[in-house]
Structure 1
Amino acid sequence: MSTNSKAEDVKVVGPLVVEGKLSDNERLKKESNFLRGTISDDLKNQVTGGMSGDNFQLIRFHGMYQQDDRDIRAERAKQKLEPLHSLMLRARLPGGIITPEQWLGVDKWATEHTMYGSIRLTTRQTFQYHGILKPNIKTVHKALNSIGIDSIATAADMNRNVLCTSNPYQSEVHQEAYEWAKKISEHFLPQTRGYAEVWLDSEKVEDTAQEAEPILGSTYLPRKFKTAVVIPPLNDVDVHGNDLSFVAIQEAGELIGFNVLVGGGLAMTHGDKSTYPRKADDFGFISAEQTIAFAEAVVTTQRDWGNRVNRKNAKTKYTLDRVGSDVFKQEVEKRAGSKFEPSRPYEFTERGDRIGWSQGIDDKHYLALFIENGRIIDRPNQPLKTGMAELAKVHQGDFRITANQNLIVAGVPTSQKAEIEAIAIKYGLMDMSVSEQRKNSMACVAFPTCPLAMAEAERYLPTLVTDVEGILTKHNISNESIILRVTGCPNGCGRAMLAEIGLVGKGPGKYNMHLGGNLAGTRVPKMYKENLDEQSVLFEIDHLVERWVAERNSSEAFGDYVIRSGIIAEVKVSKQDFYD
């Protein structure tokens, strides 16, 4: 774990580099032998189901987190047993695209090698396995590798899975944008052979002193780094939740380049006002062929200037606020060898996923399936996992995991549309009775597996949404919705800090309520009430919806109303406004 130095030990040099005692994560990375550590030896230790020492952190660079079942942790402690340790593995899947053949492999190994048998679609447009026991972990890595999937750099201080709009209406531009997402992902992969040595039994590098990480550096990035490619008008990837976003600019239906957004991020720490969510800054326009050069310039600037003393202030957003956005931008231009052009106009008009059928400009059909909480598992009367396997057996296109935990059956020819729909309906994957409110609600995993969770999220959300649906019906607006998100802690995985109502776990059954995000996903909400229990959450939502219905302007969204009416102040500059 990191040991952040005290504030009095830190000073700003230039204003570019923070001096002080480095966090322990920096020691760990430096001594890891390019992320190998002693993981291979640890895997042979059957005395414990967990990883020891530095390896607990190092496996994150390989796309895994050590977890345990917190529902039974206390009972096992009473029995003098260690927690039921297991590993969560997060795949690398740029743009969320996966073939039917790959899906069948993913499905098979979820059944055979995990405790829960489920596939979890994530807010970073990929899938996770939960509950892999230590003896099975190499088997899972090798199985995924056999179908062209890995988990490199999906966690820890790396450029994580690169997002890309799943918009089926823009098929030609989407393909170009997706290709850029793949190129960005591959460009920033670590060069170490450690992953292949440890998990795939590849031939070991004899002299690792000759290895190098020319982009990430020998101690990698100061903190996690998130990148996205988005195609307006759909902000389905929530650009302001990313360190670096490329906003596609089109002319005459062709992709000509990107506006580059830098410094977005949603995580914070309860009680620490030096931490806050932040909108990204628009640095300007670049041509498409400059994408990699500017991406590398942003990443390396953050690599060199990011805070390696205090991990709570290590993300790109804090670097921008510390050194100044203009200074950071100038350094990016210097490293890229070119200047940004003025930003090109664009507009986000919606986010979320267009659930149901749509037709692309390629004349093929796209079926967006709503997957509540992204959890694909067979339940009574809703065998989603079996249904997805049946779809994969007949589908001739690809699948697209969305950044909102849903899944698109993409590229369906007209001749196959009826067959695909029949399977989706049969297995509960296609349910036209799902409300708009449920479609616009999202949660992180939280209990029982996330070690950081303070309150329920995934298990709380379905009941919460049912109650909110009742409130909307009570006030005669059952056909409308509010962007509602719940996270079990303030780390931001469920993107509550871009919601109209964001609930952030504070303790068991207790949440901080934030209000004031907007439909486009371009505004950070502000805390309205602190430490509410579940009954109080519903009371506040009921009261607020009653006022919204009575006082709103025509078609005024909930998030816009609470700001216009003075219920909550608008967060214009996060560092200044979020806590005031």
Structure 2
Amino acid sequence: MSDIKLAVNERIKTESNLLRGTIAEGLANQITGGLSDDDMQLTKFHGFYQQDDRDIRAERQKQKLEPRHSFMLRARVPGGICTPQQWLEIDRIASDLTIYGSIRLTTRQTFQYHGILKPQVKPLIQALGSVNLDSIAACGDVNRNVMCTPNPVESELHQEAYAWAIRLSDDLLPNTNAYAELWLDGEKVTSNEVEPMYGPTYLPRKFKIAVAIPPHNDVDIHANDLNFVAVGDNGKLAGFNVLVGGGMGTTHGDVNTFPRLADDLGFVKPEDAVEVAKAVLTVQRDWGCRTDRKRARLKYTLEDNGVDKFRAEVELRSGIKFEVPKAIVFTTRGDRFGWIKGVDNKWHLTLFIENGRIVDTETHPIKTGLVEIAKIHQGDFRMTANQNLIIAGVAEQDKEQIERLARLYGLYSDEISQQRLNSMACVALPTCALAMAEAERYLPSLVTKVEGLLTKHAIPDEHFVMRMTGCPNGCGRPFLAEVGFVGKGPGKYNMYLGAKNNGMRLNKMYRENIGEAEILSILDTLIAEWASNGLADERFGDFVVRSEVIQPVIIASRDFHG
């Protein structure tokens, strides 16, 4: 018998009866607003996490009350596209079935709800199902929501790449009938149910796929386990460069964990994409670490085995030989705000949604505004990997009315700075159990102060990619930001500098455990030097590397400034 001690999640998955556990019994238990520890892990595979309001946790403890349990549910929307009719139901669900009444666009190009009470979980999932949306595999140790550049300009190439994103998402779903049984009142399967691709213990950890369309790296290909970079030929899809082993999450103080850039395996034809994806997934299933979840992502499997060995195994399992990668160039990764006209002669309006939070305020009733647009819009809504929203496919005759509504409800403004447009944060407090510091609630005020520094040094129209997370798990992809902040404690952050503007280079920690005063002092000095000594069109991340503010270092055999 093996003496290897597996991570506790491996036992939970093994004993779960293919992700059923005792979730049904837990939902029926009216004594508590939460679920058992084991079922809390299993519900992730169904798309939702148990949380509590940390702002009132201490007070409830004083009152001898359990935490105010609620759930966060994330939808599976491959490529981030939904219809206006679906959006109207997404909005209604938020208003009727959640505490906060808000919708949040995520950095995984989908939406999620916060503040779902236990009795509302099943009605909410059923309501999503009524408009052909679901949350299966949106979380958990499986392939999660597949991202795709929501390119509204190169419409034909986008449609081909988007179709493959949907197929990848569908073909890599778990086979278990548990989701249908628990939430959709599907027929119970009593025997002979198997998981031919995932096996009874699924993957060692979460698995993320992105499809990118150069020159736009808006899905941050180096942050994902598996990436398909579309290669065009006269506007049509010729195939994909395949990159594997990217990832952001790390652990404070643990040198065995680190962010990592993805490696290039080679080029494949479009029809080979799914088989290659399945091969990559099953290699990770079999080779990935199941004893330490901090080391269980695909990036560590690549790091420990090497790209050549990994490539050979993928070729063996898929029966597909990689060709030499095609030459591609990424020039941007931010969203293209405002109106853009596509080759289909349709107009596309990209709206800035600060930190992805869609809720009505006294000055900006943006949630209502999107409902009013959805009532008349004839195209689709496209969520971006940067937490923004595109009103896509607007006919010429509808453009004026859409813009009028967007401006009326505070969704569209010419006054938003480039710095604010290129900054984003994860949710963090009060709902995320992992958050050590604020992010979403704090970043807007910090951006205002950074805007002041840019103005002070006579470059108000300049910007750098700035991202903030409440912990080092990397949900907001902070390690690919020119300026990144990672929560260390209340009001304290590790500050990272030096990533490349197009997302092709990681940053490096510059200062540890600092507060706002020191953050602003450092940025004041660096922005002044950039304004005075930066080369023509030199981005901030490149400037701090060239001027040796940040020294290139080797971490885990990878050059952070390669």
Tell me if TM exceeds 0.5.
Answer: yes
- Residues 73-152 of structure 1: pairs in structure 2 closer than 5 A: 73-152=57-136
Equivalent AA in structure 2 for residue 110 of structure 1? A
Q: CA deviation at 1:246?
A: 0.3
Q: 1:172 corresponds to which residue?
A: 156
Q: CA deviation at 1:451?
A: 0.3
Q: CA deviation at 1:571?
A: 5.3
CA distance in 2, matches of 1:543, 1:372: 27
CA distance in 2, matches of 1:448, 1:280: 32
CA distance in 2, matches of 1:521, 1:266: 12
Question: Is residue 279 of structure 2 the alignment partner of residue 297 of structure 1?
Answer: yes
Q: CA deviation at 1:169?
A: 1.4
Q: 1:13 corresponds to which residue?
A: none
Give the match's secondary structure for 2:510: strand
Task: Check whether the contact 2:244–2:262 (CA below 8 A) recurs between aligned residues.
Answer: yes
Give the match's secondary structure for 1:169: coil
Task: Check whether the contact 1:277–1:574 (CA below 8 A) recurs between aligned residues.
Answer: no
Match of 1:156 among 126, 134, 140: 140
CA distance in 1, matches of 2:106, 2:59: 30
CA distance in 1, matches of 2:552, 2:350: 33
Per-residue deviation, residues 388-445 of structure 1 (Å, max 9, x unmatched): 0001000000000000000000000101000100110110010110000000000000
Q: CA deviation at 1:217?
A: 1.5
Q: 1:352 corresponds to which residue?
A: 334
Q: 1:553 corresponds to which residue?
A: 535
Identity %: 61
Per-residue deviation, residues 482-541 of structure 1 (Å, max 9, x unmatched): 100000000000110100000000000000000011111010000000000111111111
Return 5+ residue gaps in structure 2 as ranges. Answer: none
Task: Check whether the contact 1:357–1:367 (CA below 8 A) recurs between aligned residues.
Answer: yes
- Residues 453-532 of structure 1: pairs in structure 2 closer than 5 A: 453-532=435-514
Q: 1:230 corresponds to which residue?
A: 212
Equivalent AA in structure 2 for residue 474 of structure 1? K
Alpha-carbon distance change, 98 to 117 in structure 1, aligned in 2, over 3 angstroms: same
Give structure 1 regions of 4+ aligned residues with deviation exceeding 6 angstroms.
none
Equivalent AA in structure 2 for residue 542 of structure 1? D
Aligned length: 560
Per-residue deviation, residues 256-302 of structure 1 (Å, max 9, x unmatched): 00000000001000000000000000111001111111111111111
Give the match's secondary structure for 2:144: coil
Match of 1:67 among 46, 51, 55: 51
Return 5+ residue gaps in structure 1 as ranges. Answer: 1-9, 11-18
Per-residue deviation, residues 120-171 of structure 1 (Å, max 9, x unmatched): 0000000000000001111001100111000000111010000000121111
CA distance in 2, matches of 1:356, 1:571: 39
Q: CA deviation at 1:206?
A: 2.0
Q: CA deviation at 1:570?
A: 3.1
Task: Check whether the contact 1:265–1:277 (CA below 8 A) recurs between aligned residues.
Answer: yes
Superposition TM-score, scaled by structure 2 size:
0.98
CA distance in 2, matches of 1:418, 1:570: 50
Per-residue deviation, residues 361-400 of structure 1 (Å, max 9, x unmatched): 0000000000001000000110000000001000000000
Per-residue deviation, residues 216-270 of structure 1 (Å, max 9, x unmatched): 1111001000000000000000001100000000111111000000000010000
Match of 1:31 among 1, 4, 15: 15
Task: Check whether the contact 1:279–1:574 (CA below 8 A) recurs between aligned residues.
Answer: no
Task: Check whether the contact 1:524–1:571 (CA below 8 A) recurs between aligned residues.
Answer: no
Match of 1:437 among 398, 419, 423: 419
Equivalent AA in structure 2 for residue 26 of structure 1? E
CA distance in 2, matches of 1:216, 1:389: 39
Give the match's secondary structure for 1:529: strand
Q: 1:318 corresponds to which residue?
A: 300
Q: 1:4 corresponds to which residue?
A: none
- Residues 153-232 of structure 1: pairs in structure 2 closer than 5 A: 153-207=137-191, 210-232=192-214
Q: CA deviation at 1:554?
A: 1.4
Q: 1:261 corresponds to which residue?
A: 243
Match of 1:533 among 511, 515, 519: 515
CA distance in 2, matches of 1:537, 1:105: 42
Give the match's secondary structure for 2:37: coil
